[in-house]
């Protein structure tokens, strides 16, 4: 599964606000709903924040994969955001989180989100790739770096 199959350029931002977990998720949800009229802010916030209550999606090395099953959507949606200074996202390693890859999963999806999460995990294990995302000038450069890494792996 290729990242380009579910990540649009318009759904990438280089300007995730510094704040708490709720503020970061709200900013990324706002990005998604501004680009996809079929998505509803309140539903997305409820799904993603409820998932975070179960267990943080902040893994390690500055990466988080907020995700959840969203009623009424037909296909996998995603967005990506970067925060250079980092945010406390309750990550497993206790370090600040810089990269947020949100996945919105259709309720009837059978395993496609697991493939997407596995693919993302593989991409973000590369320290040089993470460094390139921190250094990227803007959202366009970030999107290009993600697609290049996706083609390499």
Summarised one tens digit per residue, pLDDT across range 54-64 is: 999 999 999 99
pTM of structure: 0.95
What's the half-sphere exposure (Cβ side, CA atoms, 13 Å) at 85? Answer: 8
- Please count the other Cβ atoms lying within 10 Å of the Cβ belonging to residue 42: 9
| 3 state SS for 48-74 | HHHHHHHCCCECCCCEECCEEEECCCC
Question: Which residue has better confidence, 127 or 153?
Answer: 127
* Average pLDDT across the chain, whole number: 94
Task: Give the domain range for residue 52.
Answer: 3-152
Which residue of the set 36, 67, 98, 113 is catalytic? 67
C-alpha 86, offset from chain centre: 14
Condensed to tens digits (0 to 9), the pLDDT of residues 66-97 reads 999 999 999 999 999 999 999 999 999 999 99
In the prediction, which pLDDT does 116 show?
87
Here the CATH number for the domain that contains residue 68 is 3.40.930.10
40 is catalytic: no
Both tokens assigned to 3: 């990242």
Give which of 147, 148, 144, 151 is closest to 14, Cα–Cα: 144
Domain count, the chain: 1
Is-contact 80 114, C-beta < 8 A? no
């Amino acid at each position: 599964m290729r990242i380009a199959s579910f990540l649009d350029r318009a759904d990438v931002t280089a300007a995730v606000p510094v704040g708490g977990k709720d503020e970061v998720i709200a900013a990324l949800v706002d990005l998604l709903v501004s680009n996809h009229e079929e998505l509803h802010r309140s539903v997305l916030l409820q799904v993603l924040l409820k998932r975070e209550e179960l267990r943080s999606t902040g893994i390690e090395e500055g990466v988080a994969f907020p995700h959840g099953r969203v009623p009424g959507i037909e296909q996998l949606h995603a967005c990506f955001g970067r925060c250079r200074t980092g945010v406390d996202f309750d990550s497993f390693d206790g370090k600040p989180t810089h990269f947020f890859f949100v996945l919105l999963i259709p309720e009837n999806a059978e395993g496609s989100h697991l493939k997407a999460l596995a693919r993302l995990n593989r991409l973000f294990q590369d320290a040089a790739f993470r460094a390139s995302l921190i250094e990227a000038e803007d959202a366009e450069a970030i999107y290009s770096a993600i697609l290049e890494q996706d083609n390499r792996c």
